[in-house]
Structure 1
């Protein structure tokens, strides 16, 4: 689902007039293949990094949550301060919000005993409520129109809930239903494939296709991360949380450098405006 905004048949992609707020250039990258690669890897890192800090370093959920939330808020501050899309700030924010979203769900389940089914429903409703208020206020959910502070706030709140929801849904299917990590990952990948087919061949609404795929990549990434990092006895490949996190972070870092140099994921209308 590359460059959804370029499809002229999608009426929802028309940029509507924003409500009052600080004007800026669009703060979200173009949806290219690199967008999806980094996003999926970030979701996987969110799962493995949270487990690494919690279990391998013995920090515990509470301490890990406080630290990652603090780092996320600092990065989010710089993301809001920027007046245009800056690859390293944007993707660092995505990686950290992925970790925080994972930890929020893990805290509810492990520390407070909330069932996975319940957390899935809670975050699903919270995400839908965010989309509803966002659309009622701005008349669009297009990521190609994130050029006011208000819209950016809606965007990141929706992203947080998609990560928390994805963690809960991924764990519910992989562990709660005892399907295993690989089967869970393949199931979510298949559904993402169906959404892609619906967009390209059956003219599915671009905004809907994007958000459905975005939501599904979270449980897909979480299941993939667990499959790569968990022991063979637990149904994984045994790469460990450290190895999986390092490999994916290095790839993300290389891709961010590439995007920064080439600027191929910037909105073409703004590449000349520095």
Structure 2
């Protein structure tokens, strides 16, 4: 699935114009996206259990700000910086949803629609300002700000949605199956012309969060909770290693492509 240029994608003539700050949507993009969602889920739980909720949230917020600061200072897409920011958005987005439920007692039936409303608000403001939601046009600081606000909202929404389905009868493995089927629907709708490329992309983007988180939870939680019982630490480390491996591969391959293009 590719998010195509839609609406107003005319070139911007500005001294502050950037190269597009978002990677091309390929199979590798979706694989790393799912991996970051799962790693963020278990890493968040691990930090909260090890450090306590308040220190964990504080540490997650600092790491998120630092990673986004690095990302925003760059003038083009840099693989490791972009995916580092996505990982930290994943961790903090999970914490935001968990704080509402565990810390403040807000039911998932309330928080999930609330995060959906936040995401809709971000998209509304983004479109009203820029006349496009295409990820192929993230070439100004303002558009990049809207993009990361949307990404953070999708992670919080996906966390709440995944936890909701896991607690209302689907369980973790059932949730994996549910969201695996669900993520195919935007692709099929786009394939047969029933959904625009941008809508299909963002729909799939939201669904990758509960898909990856449910899979990681299923691997980590105990047998009594319907999981494999591998534990938070091993699952977090394994998914982190997989992310590093795929990001390393994309970094090397993109450098090779630039060398070939310059030759």
Q: Taking structure 1 as the reference length, what is the TM-score of the superposition? A: 0.90
Residue 227 of structure 1, aligned match among 191, 215, 218: 218
Q: 1:256 — aligned with what?
A: 247
Q: How does 1:90-109 map to 2 (within 5 A)?
A: 90-109=82-101
The answer to whether residue 151 in structure 2 is matched with residue 152 in structure 1 is no
Q: How does 1:29-178 map to 2 (within 5 A)?
A: 29-55=23-49, 57=50, 59-175=51-167, 177-178=168-169
Greater Cα shift, 199-208 or 68-77: 199-208
After superposition, the Cα gap between the structure-2 partners of 1:265 and 1:126, relative to the gap in structure 1 and judged at 3 Å, is farther
After superposition, the Cα gap between the structure-2 partners of 1:252 and 1:265, relative to the gap in structure 1 and judged at 3 Å, is farther
Residue 236 of structure 2, aligned match among 239, 245, 252: 245
Alpha-carbon distance, 1:200 to partner:
2.1
Q: 1:180 — aligned with what?
A: 171
Aligned-pair Cα RMSD in Å: 2.1
After superposition, the Cα gap between the structure-2 partners of 1:29 and 1:131, relative to the gap in structure 1 and judged at 3 Å, is same
Asked if structure 2 preserves the Cα contact closer than 8 Å seen for 1:170 and 1:219, the reply is yes
Residue ranges of structure 2 left out of the alignment (5+ in a row): none
Asked if structure 1 preserves the Cα contact closer than 8 Å seen for 2:21 and 2:77, the reply is yes
Query: 1:234, 1:19 → 2: CA distance?
Result: 56
SS of 1:12's equivalent?
coil
Asked if structure 1 preserves the Cα contact closer than 8 Å seen for 2:3 and 2:134, the reply is no
Asked if structure 1 preserves the Cα contact closer than 8 Å seen for 2:7 and 2:131, the reply is no
Asked if structure 1 preserves the Cα contact closer than 8 Å seen for 2:8 and 2:131, the reply is no
Query: 2:7, 2:171 → 1: CA distance?
Result: 38
Query: 1:113, 1:164 → 2: CA distance?
Result: 16
Alpha-carbon distance, 1:60 to partner:
1.4
Q: 1:194 — aligned with what?
A: 185
Query: 1:13, 1:224 → 2: CA distance?
Result: 36
Query: 1:265, 1:83 → 2: CA distance?
Result: 20
Asked if structure 1 preserves the Cα contact closer than 8 Å seen for 2:179 and 2:207, the reply is yes
Greater Cα shift, 14-23 or 120-129: 14-23
SS of 1:28's equivalent?
coil
Q: 1:26 — aligned with what?
A: 20
Alpha-carbon distance, 1:40 to partner:
0.3
The answer to whether residue 198 in structure 2 is matched with residue 207 in structure 1 is yes
Provide, for residues 79-114 of structure 1, a one-character-per-residue CA deviation record: whole Å limited to 9, x for no partner.
Answer: 000000000000010001000000011111111111
Provide, for residues 105-163 of structure 1, a one-character-per-residue CA deviation record: whole Å limited to 9, x for no partner.
Answer: 11111111111111111111000000001001000000000000000000000000000
Q: 1:8 — aligned with what?
A: none
